[in-house]
Amino acid sequence: MTTPPPATPAPQGTKTEAVLLLRLAGPLQSWGSRSAFNRRETNPEPTKSGVIGLLAAAAGMAREDPLDELTPLSLGVRVDQPGTLLRDYHTVSDFRGRPLLQAGVSAKGLQKPTSPAKYTHVTTRYYLQDAVFVAAVAGPRDLLRTLDQAVRAPSFPLALGRRSCPPTQPLALGLREGSLEQVLREEPWQASRRAREQYAAQCGREQELDRPLYPARIDRSITVEDPEGDDVLHDSPVSFDPYARSFTSRRVRHGWLSIPTGFPRPDTTDDGPDEAAGHDPFALLGW
């Protein structure tokens, strides 16, 4: 992938904010905001700690490094392809045939063996299969330009929530102008070709046609960081230090956007809106 030419510096007196777009797609993703012992869950969409962690890894930051530059960045996530939930079943045992250790420790600080002896431990992991998200990160242009270049040539291997979940390409979509919501509204649909063709075939069946129908737009859900948002997520990282991991809360709002599908020749009418999107019974009420 070729690195885009550097953006023209903004004139003095203008805002230097920009939005970095990332396409988060891969066979497996896992965005856990909490874990309990032998159970590792995943959120239905990327967390801020996961996205910030990806950017920090790309920039070559150590886990103990402060996140003062990265945590103020605002995050918006668009669900282009929700994927499906995968439950992965694990069993853990000691290859030497010894009993597993328990959480409790002795007076010397050593873990005690299980009593009665337990030789197999069951642990469960959850993943998202075949999901595609567009993550929009808003902040200072110079910082985002540096992060964009880092994502294209990362210092450390990048992952979608867990090390076992590498991303597919393209990952970096470049810098954009505008607010998080505007950028997410204008960026074309990033779903896989198979998902796009399945959607076109479904539209054709719904219109009782004997061929696929290629609409110009599709509705996709978004979650955007907003100080006035009505939902709270506890996934904003304070430190990734393994001995002092900590997170704080942030406010978000959820909504839906009509985005361009990007089909080469979408089926549209001469009257304006795309009828392939279906009849909206609330349109006359202005909803």
Q: Is 86 part of any domain?
A: yes
Q: Which two tokens stand for residue 146?
A: 């540096």
Does residue 174 sit within a domain? yes
Does residue 170 have a cis bond before it (omega within 30 degrees)? Answer: yes
- Is 197 within the bounds of a domain? yes
**112 domain residue, yes or no:** yes
Domain that holds residue 190: 17-268
Is residue 205 in a domain? yes
The size of the chain, in residues, is: 287
The three state secondary structure string of 208-264 is CCCCCCCCCEEEEEEEEECCCCCEEEEEEEEECCCCCCEEEEEEEEEEEEEEECCCC
204 located within any domain: yes
- In this prediction, residue 37 carries a pLDDT of 63
pTM score, two decimals? 0.80
Structural contact between residues 11 and 158, judged by C-beta atoms closer than 8 angstroms: no
Per-position pLDDT tens, the chain of length 287: 444 444 444 444 334 689 999 999 999 999 987 766 678 889 999 999 999 999 999 999 999 999 999 999 999 999 999 999 999 988 888 788 888 887 777 788 888 888 788 888 788 889 999 999 999 999 999 999 999 999 999 999 999 999 999 999 999 999 999 999 999 999 999 999 999 999 999 999 999 999 999 999 999 999 999 999 999 999 999 999 988 889 999 999 999 999 999 998 887 643 334 444 444 454 444 44
Q: What is the pLDDT of residue 36?
A: 64
Residue 11 included in any domain: no
CA–CA separation, 22 and 59 (whole Å): 15
Does residue 27 sit within a domain?
yes
| Helical axes 141-152 vs 48-58, angle rounded to 10° | 70
Work out how many domains the chain is built from and give that number.
1
Looking at the DSSP bridge assignments, the partners of residue 135 are 22, 77
Task: Supply the CATH number for residue 76's domain.
Answer: 3.30.70.2660
